[in-house]
Amino acid sequence: MSEEKEGEMIELGTKDFIKGKPFRVTDDDLEKRWGSPFRCQLCGHWFKAGDEGRWVYANFKDSPFKGGDFFVCGGCDGEDVLERAGKIREESKRTHWWLWHMVDVERENARHR
Ligand SMILES: [Zn+2]
């Protein structure tokens, strides 16, 4: 990676992620809880120290991805990452509807616990 790009990186956990800049995973990052598994939304890669990643801002009106902000690894990142993530999500709802059904049931159950 060029030094120029390294200089544009942000610290994970700051609001800077909205600017769309990547981060470099540190050991500290791995210790923290981010409210969701620390994995790439597209390929499932578990982040490890030294990896490049980005926290993709997706929680806006008319976002092509209707699942909230998410992490993406350097290998999967790209300008069309929101469209690709949205497509995967919609496709999985169509083909893996039973899995989504189970998630919904689980959520319902949790609500009544
Ligand atoms: Zn990935």
pTM of the model: 0.79
Cα of 110 vs centre of ligand 1, distance in Å, is 30
Evaluate whether 67 touches 85 at the Cβ level (below 8 Å). Answer: yes
pLDDT higher than threshold 50 for residue 1: no
41 vs 23, 91, 112, CA distance in Å? 15, 14, 29
CA-closest candidate to residue 35, choices 5, 68, 60 = 68
Ranges 15-19, 36-40, 95-99: which has the least confidence: 15-19
Each domain of the chain, given as residue ranges in start order, spans 3-111
Task: Report how far ligand 1's centroid is from the alpha carbon of 103 (Å).
Answer: 23
Q: Identify the bridge partners of residue 53 per DSSP, sorted by sequence position.
A: 23, 73
46 Cα–ligand 1 center, Å = 9
What spacing in Å lies between the alpha carbon of 111 and ligand 1's midpoint? 32
pLDDT tens-digit map of 37-95: 899 999 999 999 999 999 999 999 999 998 899 999 999 999 999 999 999 999 999 99
Q: How far is the CA of 72 from the centre of ligand 1 (A)?
A: 6
Ligand 1 mean position to 62 CA, how many Å? 23
State the distance from the centre of ligand 1 to the C-alpha of 113, rounded, in angstroms.
35
